[in-house]
A and B are shown apart, each in its own frame.
Chain A
């Protein structure tokens, strides 16, 4: 009786295992294949790519697609602006979030409750797209670099994540520093910041990925400013111009398109250029983001 039960159980377990492995394999391929496919096409000769049939390895290997896109000046400007906004936006965001978090972690701070409520409310109120656009316009921030890093400078979510981390540190550290005659800024700079590094690393990655991936602010405020467009925006322009016309390219202007490098190859190569920095920091992302995600979820 018991033997019988165990036998059937193991049978159904085997089917169960099979289903699990098949499903996981399908999901993994579905996630990874598109990236590999894009990578392969970006390194494949663009005339050859039109014939189709490229999967995960280039058929006629070439750097030509990359040479072509890097010769286009908009891409280099985009790269420069994207790097700048990522670096500056991350630094400014870290300074604002850590300072606010420190003051909010001080139980003796008079304005603590006021500041905390004020910040918490920003997570729920939103004026919407057009009032925000008008505000940016009235502040004369259209067509400036500042529009990338200044409006989003204070993020309540980041403040609260860092604060919950500081709250976990022993308060006696601050008190003993105070007895040694340190002022509040010194305590922040010398005592709190060095101890908060893991939380800061998480937030820095949040900020950096957000800055790097942003495209809509460029579209809305700086789209016609040649010197201020970002890499994501350049990619968006290429994609938008080819999605709507994708089918017009078939047949009609084939010779014309084939004469130069195909828009498809341009698109794939730029996609890779935009994605590579994310891949480079991916090991860090995985380590800190997962931690930050669980931290944030536990708190809220």
Chain B
């Protein structure tokens, strides 16, 4: 965003008569951009117009002018609904857990990978670790459910053979485990992929630093602590801030696919709540109110994160 706005320099004002000849001259440029701009308007901006539904008693099939306006009725209903606070709690819990795990573990993994001395092994591990990123959440959820199943699931088999448990745990049926399962699934799927940026940052650290440290007799662990980690500090801070900006927009995909009725009190995020209680029951106005709440909060978070980001990057430039 920053790079985009920074790049556009102000167009000097020209007399109006110059516009049309230039317009004709650039007709192909217009033909190649305007249709897509209109397209983006329809599918990206028009839904915002749909926000009016939250302030109406929306009935499908009626025109906009025939709808009855009800003011903040649906927002009041929303803030009195226990389910809403439950969904908000679940969203926040899973996004914070996901933020922490998805932030710390890739850093550790990147540092570990960087310490592998055998290049072919490093490449092999990288190749394997990217794989889950490319499969869909449907496939991932299927695999994870199988691994956690009570019927010969790998996790239960392993725990049983280590005598850590005496009978299989019904992972997918335990509400209090759901947040952890979602977080762990995310870690399983995305850790390898998320290391790419850190590995790129680590490869930017000058080898002479490690050389000097070795001459001074620093151990490998000391090198990690005093060279590698400080070397990628800026990357770490930037990525942390970006992920704070996306905190609440965790969506519903994982929760939809991994969840079931038994764990609903823990799996229902705001988006799923809108899906189940808005769309599923035909309460479009109520569901739109949920969507508005979600969008507004995420935009606020994005702006806050962006503000912090600007402040910090400015400081680091000066």
Task: Please provide the chain A residues from 267 to 296 with a CB less than 8 Å away from any CB of chain B in the complex.
Answer: 267-268, 271, 274-275, 278, 282, 285-286, 289-290, 293-294
Q: A115–B31 Cα gap in the complex (Å)?
A: 13
Q: Is the CB of B32 within 8 A of A102?
A: yes
What A residues does B115 contact at CB under 8 A? 16-17, 20
Q: Is the CB of A13 within 8 A of B219?
A: yes
Asked if B65 is at the interface (CB within 8 A of a chain A CB), the reply is no
On whether A244 and B29 interact (CB within 8 A), knowing A31-B192, A130-B291, the answer reads no
Task: Please provide the chain A residues from 107 to 158 with a CB less than 8 Å away from any CB of chain B in the complex.
Answer: 108-113, 115-120, 122-135, 137, 139, 150-154, 156
Q: Is the CB of A24 within 8 A of B125?
A: yes
Q: Is the CB of A109 within 8 A of B26?
A: yes
Q: How far is the CB of B32 from chain A (nearest CB, A)?
A: 4
- B50 touches which one: A122, A127, A235, A246 (CB < 8 A)? A127
What A residues does B221 contact at CB under 8 A? 12-13, 16
- B274 touches which one: A20, A130, A297 (CB < 8 A)? A130
Asked if A259 is at the interface (CB within 8 A of a chain B CB), the reply is no
Q: A38–B33 Cα gap in the complex (Å)?
A: 46
What A residues does B128 contact at CB under 8 A? 28, 31-32
What B residues does A132 contact at CB under 8 A? 47, 50
Q: Is the CB of B152 within 8 A of A53?
A: yes
Q: Is the CB of A99 within 8 A of B36?
A: yes
Q: Is the CB of B22 within 8 A of A27?
A: no
What B residues does A34 contact at CB under 8 A? 143-144, 146-147, 154
Asked if B86 is at the interface (CB within 8 A of a chain A CB), the reply is no
On whether A118 and B40 interact (CB within 8 A), knowing A54-B152, A232-B136, the answer reads yes
Q: A102–B51 Cα gap in the complex (Å)?
A: 34
- B29 touches which one: A38, A103, A137 (CB < 8 A)? A103
Q: Is the CB of A118 within 8 A of B129?
A: no
What B residues does A116 contact at CB under 8 A? 4, 8
Q: Is the CB of B152 within 8 A of A129?
A: no
Q: A153–B220 Cα gap in the complex (Å)?
A: 49
On whether A100 and B172 interact (CB within 8 A), knowing A38-B143, A154-B43, A267-B146, the answer reads no
On whether A135 and B1 interact (CB within 8 A), knowing A33-B154, A100-B32, A267-B142, the answer reads no
Q: Is the CB of B1 within 8 A of A120?
A: yes
On whether A282 and B134 interact (CB within 8 A), knowing A52-B152, A239-B145, the answer reads yes
Q: A102–B26 Cα gap in the complex (Å)?
A: 13
What B residues does A249 contact at CB under 8 A? 151
- Which residue of chain B lies nearest to A130 when distances are taken between CB atoms in the complex? B287
Asked if A64 is at the interface (CB within 8 A of a chain B CB), the reply is no
Q: Is the CB of B36 within 8 A of A96?
A: yes
Q: A184–B24 Cα gap in the complex (Å)?
A: 12
Asked if A217 is at the interface (CB within 8 A of a chain B CB), the reply is no
What B residues does A150 contact at CB under 8 A? 43
Q: Is the CB of B125 within 8 A of A131?
A: no
Q: Is the CB of B51 within 8 A of A131?
A: yes
Q: Is the CB of A100 within 8 A of B36?
A: yes
Q: A132–B23 Cα gap in the complex (Å)?
A: 34
On whether A247 and B138 interact (CB within 8 A), knowing A127-B51, A135-B46, A153-B39, the answer reads no
- A239 touches which one: B109, B150, B257, B291 (CB < 8 A)? B257
Asked if A172 is at the interface (CB within 8 A of a chain B CB), the reply is no
Q: A260–B142 Cα gap in the complex (Å)?
A: 21
Q: Is the CB of A243 within 8 A of B172?
A: yes
Q: How far is the CB of A179 from chain B (nearest CB, A)?
A: 15
Asked if A30 is at the interface (CB within 8 A of a chain B CB), the reply is yes
Asked if B116 is at the interface (CB within 8 A of a chain A CB), the reply is yes
What B residues does A126 contact at CB under 8 A? 47, 295
- A61-85 interface bits toward B, Cβ cutoff 8 Å, 1 = contact, 0 = none: 0000000000000000000000000
Asked if B80 is at the interface (CB within 8 A of a chain A CB), the reply is no
Asked if A255 is at the interface (CB within 8 A of a chain B CB), the reply is no
Among B47, B113, B253, residue most surrounded by chain A Cβ atoms (within 10 Å): B47
Q: A23–B47 Cα gap in the complex (Å)?
A: 47
What B residues does A122 contact at CB under 8 A? 40, 44-45
Q: A57–B18 Cα gap in the complex (Å)?
A: 74
Q: Is the CB of A300 within 8 A of B197?
A: no
Q: Is the CB of A135 within 8 A of B217?
A: no
- Identify 14 new A-B residue pairs, CB closer than 8 A, beyond the known A35-B131, A131-B53, A154-B43: A12-B220, A20-B115, A24-B113, A34-B144, A99-B32, A110-B19, A110-B26, A124-B299, A125-B299, A126-B47, A184-B32, A246-B149, A264-B146, A300-B3
Those 4 A-B pairs whose CB atoms lie nearest each other, nearest first? A127-B47, A128-B291, A131-B50, A52-B152
